[in-house]
C-alpha cells in the first residue's frame, strides 16, 4: 500500500548554512492489513517518515507512493486517520466543536455526525470535557482528543506519531485496545513510538531507524526456536535446584522476590521449566527480561 | 471534496469573525467615533461623501486584520496537520478562507454604515460594494500570497504598497525598461491612490489592472499552498 523507494530527505538551513540529512535511502513497503512500527532514537527520522507518507513533506530524492499515487493526492482524495505527536487545535474551539468540524472535513454525513462524535467522545472518555475549550484541557486529554478526531474517519490508512505521548497508563492500555480494534485486512497502520514495549505489543514489523537510515526491520515477536533470549523467572519461594536446573541463571539481588535471569532457547527453557515444576519448584512468573525488539534496537543503534 | 468544504464554510466564517472581529470593530470605532461624537461637521448633503471617506480610510486596516496570517498561522501553529489529513484540498480551503475574510471585511463596513444611519443620517456611498470589494482584493491578495511564506505578511504587504509608490516616482514607466518592470511587479498603489471609481467616470482599464494584479497574487498564494509542502520546518 505505501512504498518508500530510496527515499532521502534533507532539511536545508540558510543562516547559518547547514544541511541536515533526516532520512537517507529508505526503502520499505507497508502492506494493507499490517501494523507497521517505527522506532529509533530522537532525530532518527521517524516523524519525517510519517510526514512524507502524509505528503506534508516531499522527498529530496526517491519516491513515496500510496496505492501508486503521490501521498498528497491520496490524502486529499481518501483522507488519513492521523494523530500527530503534538496535538495542535485552535484553543478557542470546544471539544465537541472541534470534533464536529473534523467530522465535517472527514466527510461524515450530516445525519451521522452528532452520533459519531458522541460515540468517539465516549470511547476516549472525554464526556466530562465535551464543553471545555481546548485551552482548558490537560496534555493527556488533549492527546485523547487528537486520537478521537482520527477515529472519526474510516480511512484505509492510519498514521500515529507518538500516540501515547502524555497518556496515563490506563489510557495507554486502552489505546492499545483501540489500535487492535482498528486492525483490518484492507487497512495499513503506521505507528512511530519511542516506546518499544508498545510497538512490540502492537506492530507486526518494526523499522528501526538510526540517524536517518533504516538499520533493520524487526519481524514477528514470537520467540523462535534456536534463538537465545534472556527471561526472568520469578519463584513463589526458594528452591535449591534452580541454578542446577538452569545453568548460568543469575539471581536478581535487589528484587523483593526470588527472581533469576535465565538465558536460552525457548524450547529448551520450557523443558527445563517442566522438570523444575515436577521437582516441586513453584513459579510465580516467567517473562522476557529483555524484549526481542529491545535487543534488536540496541544492536541497530550500536548499543550493547 | 467541494461539497465538504462548502459545509465547512459557515465555521470558517465564524472563526474569522471570532478571532478577528473584535480588532476590526475597534478599528471601525476609532475611525467613526469623531463623527458620531459630533466632532466632525457634516457638510449639507455631504453625509454620503463623509461616510465614503471614513470607510476608505479604515479599509487598509480592516483588510490587514482580516487577512494577516491567513495561511501562515495554520502552518506555524501546526493546525494544518489535522486539517489536511482530511480528504479536502488545501487550495480550496484557503480560497474559501479568503472569501470568509472578504465577508468579514464587508460586514465590518456595513456595521459602520448602519451605525452612521442611526446616529447621523442614513447615507449610502455610491458604488460602495464594488469599490470596497476591489480594494479588499487588491490589498488582501498581496497579504494572502505573502502569508504562506512570510511571518509578518501584513507589514511586508504594506511596505510593498509604499515602496511601489516611491519606485514608480523614481522610475517612471515611460522612461525605462526598469520602470515598466517595476510597474508590473509592485502593487498598483498609484491607481488606487487616485481612486478607481470617481463619480465622473470609472476607468475600467485601471480596474482591470487592479483586479488582474489581485488575481495574480491570489494565484501565487494558492500555488504556494499547492506546491510548497506544509511541513517544511523540521
Over chain B (234 residues), what is each successive 10-residue block's mean pLDDT?
85 94 93 80 78 90 94 93 94 96 95 89 82 91 92 87 83 80 83 69 82 94 93 61
Partner A contacted by B201 (CB < 8 A): no
Give the pLDDT of residue B1.
65
Q: Collect all residues from A whose CB is shorter than 8 A from any CB in B.
A: 11, 20, 22, 48, 51, 54-58, 72, 75-82, 84, 86, 88-90, 92, 101-102, 104-107, 110, 146, 149-150, 153, 159
**B210 touches B141 (CB < 8 A):** no
State the pLDDT at residue B108: 94
Residue among A200, A112, A105 at smallest CA distance from A150 = A105
Contact A153 B78 (CB under 8 A): no
CB contact under 8 A, A110 and B7: yes
Residue B4 CA to residue A194 CA, distance in Å, equals 36
Torsion angle of C-alpha atoms B89, B95, B100, B105, degrees rounded to 10 = 160
- Distance, in Å, from the CA atom of A183 to the CA atom of A232, rounded to the nearest integer, reads 31
pLDDT band at A223 (very low <50, low <70, confident <90, very high): low
Q: Where is pLDDT greater, at A171 or A296?
A: A171
B8 to A101: CB separation less than 8 angstroms, yes or no? yes
Chain B: residue whose CA lies nearest to A55: B229
pTM over 0.90: no
Is the Cβ of B18 closer than 8 Å to some Cβ of chain A? yes
State which residue of chain B sits closest to A150, comparing Cα positions.
Answer: B82
pLDDT tens by residue, A197-217: 888 888 999 999 988 888 888
Q: Average pLDDT of chain A?
A: 88
**Closest approach of chain A CAs to the CA of B127, in angstroms?**
37
Question: Which residues, including other chains, have CB under 8 Å from residue A132's CB and lie 6 or more apart?
Answer: A94, A95
CB pair distance less than 8 Å for B79 and A90: yes
Q: Are the beta carbons of B87 and A78 separated by less than 8 Å?
A: yes
Residue A60's nearest CA partner among A4, A113, A136 is: A4
Work out the number of other CB atoms within 10 angstroms of the CB of residue A161. 23
Select from A48, A55, A76 the Cβ nearest to the Cβ of B88: A76
Partner residue facing B82 (CB), from A22, A107, A149: A149
ipTM over 0.90: no
pLDDT single digits (tens) A26-59:
999 999 999 999 998 888 899 999 999 999 999 9
Give the DSSP letter string of A106-147.
TT--HHHHHHHHHHHHHHTT-GGGTTSBGGGS-HHHHHHHHH
Q: What percent of chain A has pLDDT over 70?
A: 96
Query: Which residues of chain A lie closer than 8 angstroms to B80, CB-CB?
Result: 56
Who's near B223: CB < 8 A, 6+ residues apart? none
Q: pLDDT value at position B126?
A: 75
Q: Which residue of B has its CA nearest to A77?
A: B87
CB distance A126 to A89 below 8 Å:
no
Amino acid at each position: 500500500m505505501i512504498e518508500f523507494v530510496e527515499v532521502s530527505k534533507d532539511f536545508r538551513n540558510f543562516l547559518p548554512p547547514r544541511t541536515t540529512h533526516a532520512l537517507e535511502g529508505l526503502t520499505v513497503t507497508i502492506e494493507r492489513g499490517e501494523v507497521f512500527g517505527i522506532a529509533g532514537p530522537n532525530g532518527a527520522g521517524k516523524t519525517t517518515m510519517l510526514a512524507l507518507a502524509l505528503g506534508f513533506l516531499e522527498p529530496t530524492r526517491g519516491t513515496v507512493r500510496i496505492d501508486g499515487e503521490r501521498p498528497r493526492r491520496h490524502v486529499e482524495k481518501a483522507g488519513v486517520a492521523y494523530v500527530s505527536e503534538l496535538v495542535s487545535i485552535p484553543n478557542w474551539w470546544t471539544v465537541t466543536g472541534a470534533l464536529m468540524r473534523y467530522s465535517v472535513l472527514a466527510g461524515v454525513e450530516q445525519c451521522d455526525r452528532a452520533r459519531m462524535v458522541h460515540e468517539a467522545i465516549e470511547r476516549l472518555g472525554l464526556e466530562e470535557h465535551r464543553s471545555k475549550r481546548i485551552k482548558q484541557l490537560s496534555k493527556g486529554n488533549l492527546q485523547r482528543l487528537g486520537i478521537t478526531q482520527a477515529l472519526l474517519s474510516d480511512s484505509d490508512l492510519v498514521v500515529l506519531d507518538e500516540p501515547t505521548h502524555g497518556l496515563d497508563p490506563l489510557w495507554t492500555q486502552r489505546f492499545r485496545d483501540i489500535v487492535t480494534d482498528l486492525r483490518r485486512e484492507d487497512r495499513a497502520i503506521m505507528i512511530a513510538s519511542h516506546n518499544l514495549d508498545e510497538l512490540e505489543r502492537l506492530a507486526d514489523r518494526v523499522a528501526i531507524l538510526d540517524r536517518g537510515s533504516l538499520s533493520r526491520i524487526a519481524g514477528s515477536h514470537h520467540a523462535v526456536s534456536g534463538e537465545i533470549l534472556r527471561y526472568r523467572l520469578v519463584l513463589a519461594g526458594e528452591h535449591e535446584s534452580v541454578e542446577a536446573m538452569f545453568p548460568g541463571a543469575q539471581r536478581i539481588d535487589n528484587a523483593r522476590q526470588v527472581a533469576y535471569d535465565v538465558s536460552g532457547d525457548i524450547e529448551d527453557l520450557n523443558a527445563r521449566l517442566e522438570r523444575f515444576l515436577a521437582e516441586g519448584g513453584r513459579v510465580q512468573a516467567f517473562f522476557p527480561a529483555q524484549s526481542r525488539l529491545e535487543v534488536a534496537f540496541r544492536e541497530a543503534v550500536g548499543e550493547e | 471534496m467541494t461539497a465538504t468544504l462548502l459545509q465547512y464554510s459557515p465555521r470558517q466564517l465564524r472563526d474569522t469573525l471570532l478571532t478577528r472581529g473584535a480588532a476590526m470593530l475597534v478599528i471601525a470605532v476609532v475611525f467613526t467615533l469623531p463623527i458620531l461624537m459630533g466632532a466632525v461637521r457634516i457638510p449639507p448633503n455631504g453625509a454620503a461623501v463623509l461616510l465614503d471617506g471614513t470607510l476608505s480610510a479604515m479599509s487598509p486596516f480592516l483588510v490587514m486584520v482580516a487577512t494577516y496570517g491567513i495561511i501562515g498561522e495554520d502552518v506555524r501553529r501546526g493546525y494544518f496537520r489535522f486539517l489536511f489529513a482530511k480528504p479536502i484540498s488545501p487550495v480550496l480551503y484557503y480560497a474559501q478562507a479568503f472569501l470568509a475574510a472578504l465577508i468579514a471585511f464587508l460586514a465590518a463596513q456595513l456595521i459602520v454604515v448602519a451605525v452612521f444611519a442611526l446616529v447621523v443620517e442614513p447615507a449610502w456611498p455610491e458604488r460602495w460594494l464594488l469599490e470596497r470589494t476591489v480594494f479588499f482584493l487588491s490589498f488582501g491578495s498581496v497579504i494572502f500570497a505573502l502569508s504562506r511564506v512570510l511571518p509578518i505578511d501584513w507589514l511586508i504587504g504594506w511596505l510593498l504598497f509604499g515602496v511601489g509608490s516611491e519606485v514608480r516616482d523614481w522610475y517612471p514607466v515611460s522612461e525605462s525598461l526598469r520602470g515598466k518592470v517595476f510597474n508590473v511587479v509592485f502593487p498598483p498603489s498609484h491607481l488606487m491612490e487616485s481612486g478607481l471609481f470617481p463619480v465622473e467616470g470609472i476607468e475600467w482599464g485601471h480596474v482591470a489592472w487592479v483586479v488582474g494584479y489581485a488575481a495574480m497574487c491570489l494565484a501565487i498564494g494558492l500555488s504556494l499552498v499547492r506546491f510548497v509542502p506544509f511541513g517544511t520546518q523540521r
